[in-house]
Amino acid sequence: MGSHPYAYEVSNLVVTVLSILQIAALVTAVYAFVHAAMQRPDAYTAVGKLTKPVWLVILGVAAALTFIGVFGMAIAACAAGVYLVDVRPKLLEIQGKSH
């Protein structure tokens, strides 16, 4: 009794898709981290968000979590998504920068 003839192809497809998702989550988290690092520390408190060091820790850990599997990638995507969708626009607005 052999394995299904398409099992190898499906396995390769799953690995490829997960690798693409991992790279996307990592790039997004690193972009968010770099953006957070370039902002003024007082801007975070001015918009009523967590402090700059806290966001740097969150986003740094999020980038590292992309290497521990699907659950880590999901956490990283959520952390970077919250920063990019909620915090980043407010930081840019208060600093008079365009979106």
Q: Does residue 5 register a pLDDT over 90?
A: no
Quote the tokens at residue 73: 């990638």
Give the whole-angstrom CA distance, residue 84 versus residue 73. 16
Quote the tokens at residue 72: 């880590």
At 55-70, the pLDDT tens digits run 999 999 999 999 999 9
pTM: 0.87
Give the whole-angstrom CA distance, residue 78 versus residue 93. 22
* pLDDT score at 30: 98
Give the whole-angstrom CA distance, residue 81 versus residue 68. 19
Mean residue pLDDT across the chain: 92
At 27-47, the pLDDT tens digits run 999 999 999 999 999 999 999
* Confidence tier at 1 by pLDDT (50, 70, 90): very low
Contact call for residues 76 and 62 (beta carbons, < 8 A): yes
